[in-house]
Amino acid sequence: MLTWPNVLSALRLALVPVFLWLILIDENLLAFSVLAFSSFTDWLDGYLARKLNQMSRLGQLLDPAADRLFILASLLGLAITEKVPWWLVFVIVSRDIMLFFTLPILAKVGYGPLPVNYSGKAGTFALLYAFPLMLLPDVLGSGSAVFIYPLAWGFAFWGIWLYWWAGAVYLRQVYNIRKTARLT
């Protein structure tokens, strides 16, 4: 379905490797710009989908896929360039890996991926704000780090907490779906 929200999600998907390449070659201003633009389009595609009544199953799959890939690319790029510690990659990626293993359980009882919940959206929002902020001192100069890093890490820790809370909600939903399927 060719809708504005789906076009924005597809654009965000296409920008993932561009961002990763830019951060790896130390083009921090351009990487920051791509990441900030992508974060904005993440908000915009949801807004347009609701405003224009253009919500679709494709959009429900594309948007979180673009979010997950941008989070992964951001984490890897920031960790490889030593802007964030590797434990942050582990904490965030392990949640997605855990939830990946729920897909066969859901498929076995006739369900596809569960819809995104608000805790997950808020966690993704916080993480997608944290990552550009973590990159910003490389753009503005290291003197700005004393002001920007506390804000960036604040967003990161809230994002992690909300991300894992949403993961727990998903696990509970999977458990309830599986339990209900066994009863029928």
From residue 3, alpha-carbon distances to 41, 62, 119 in Å are 14, 12, 26
**What is the pLDDT confidence band of residue 64, given thresholds at 50, 70 and 90?**
confident
Residue 36 has pLDDT above 90, yes or no: no
Confidence (pTM): 0.88
Q: Give the per-residue SS3 of the chain.
A: CCCHHHHHHHHHHHHHHHHHHHHHCCCHHHHHHHHHHHHHHHHHHHHHHHHCCCCCHHHHHHHHHHHHHHHHHHHHHHHHCCCCCHHHHHHHHHHHHHHHCCHHHHHHCCCCCCCCCHHHHHHHHHHHHHHHHHHHHHHHCHHHHHHHHHHHHHHHHHHHHHHHHHHHHHHHHHHHHHHHHHHC
Architecture in CATH of 4-183: Up-down Bundle (1.20)
Residue 56 has pLDDT above 90, yes or no: no
CA pair distance 71, 89, nearest whole angstrom:
9
Residue 150 has pLDDT above 80, yes or no: yes
**What is the pLDDT confidence band of residue 58, given thresholds at 50, 70 and 90?**
confident
CA angle, 93 as apex, 146 and 137 as ends, to 5°?
20
- Tokens 């130390």 correspond to 26
Burial status of residue 57 (CB atoms within 10 A of its CB: 0-12, 13-18, 19 or more): exposed
The average pLDDT across 154-180 equals: 96
> What pLDDT, on the 0 to 100 scale, is given for residue 62?
86
CA pair distance 117, 165, nearest whole angstrom:
10
Residue 46 has pLDDT above 90, yes or no: no
CA angle, 161 as apex, 177 and 82 as ends, to 5°?
125
The average pLDDT across 6-32 equals: 95
